[in-house]
Homo-oligomer: A and B are copies of this chain.
Amino acid sequence: MSRVAVIGAGAVGCYYGARLAQAGHDVHFLMRRDYDAVAARGLRVTSKDGDFALAAPAIARRSEEIGPVDWVLCALKATAIEHAEALVAPCVGEHTRILAVMNGLGLEERFAGWFGARRVFGGLAFTCINRGEPGEVHHLDYGPLLIGHAEDDRAELAVAAALWADATVEVSTSPSLLAARWQKLTWNIPFNGLAVTAGGITTDRILAQPGLRAAADATIREVVAAGNADLAAHGEAARLDADTLAATMIALTDAMAVYRPSTMIDFVEGRAMEVAAIFEEPARRAATLGVPAPHMALLAALMRALDGLRRE
């Protein structure tokens, strides 16, 4: 049994944290918005793999109340990266490992700078999860977690996988964290980007309009090309395959039916969007590496503009 701190108890943090608690781990949730609701009624998960609830999960308002743990599961939005060090540090002891289940590029580098790369992992959640009422999370579809290590250490990856051995989560490890991050971006950039820039629409409507569907396909291929150039620039052997990922991501999304990507929800609800980590940093790397990526560049520029408007 491991002692776990969930920092960033949104839909993703609550869901994966609850799965770890369900598997018998000692999970502590740092909560803000949902604290009172969870204190009163527990944490409820509706899931395509079976609903369940934690009647009285351990919750805290401040990280100091949790203290050092074996694992920090950090599921903050990438927009909150500047607050991550202060929120995570009180839970970090000598042997603590940190799994950042966040989207975008450049995040592990920040954690590595604060806490040392040796203990830092990245997690990519291939899943459809939304928040419901306070204290409620809806797991709609999929659910696999792909984990990489900041130093791509195999022994460390085995330790990370072991944490999830008894959890109802399909976990795999990637020999290249950077490849895993780019792979996840082949979904996030087109589908979060188009869902927002097309006015706040669901994924089914992206795929139903031929022009947007073609744009999704073209964007995936740009992300693959940029990712492969970035992997090569980092001396990594891993490569992504454009045809496979384009077919896979579009087929998975076709099967999702009416899904609201997280950034689209942020957009329509007027919250800050993860523009820097998901859009700008990948587009910046593509430009630096000389990879033509007009869809990535245009989506990044539009997302930046739309994010600015939300907060005026």
Contacts and interface: CB of A to CB of B under 8 A. Distances in A.
Interface string A102-132: 0000000000000000000000000000000
A306 interface: yes
A214 interface: yes
Contacts of A309: 198-201
Interface string A264-299: 000000000000000000010000000000110111
Interface string A195-207: 0011111000100
A198 B306 contact: yes
A239 interface: no
Contacts of A211: 283, 297-298, 300-301, 304-305
A215 interface: yes
Mostly, the A contact residues are helix
Interface residues of A, number: 26
A244 interface: no
A305 B214 contact: no
A47 to B, nearest CB: 31
Interface of A: 194, 197-201, 205, 209, 211-212, 214-215, 218, 283, 294-295, 297-302, 304-306, 309
8 contacts: A197-B302, A200-B309, A209-B304, A211-B304, A212-B301, A215-B301, A294-B294, A294-B295
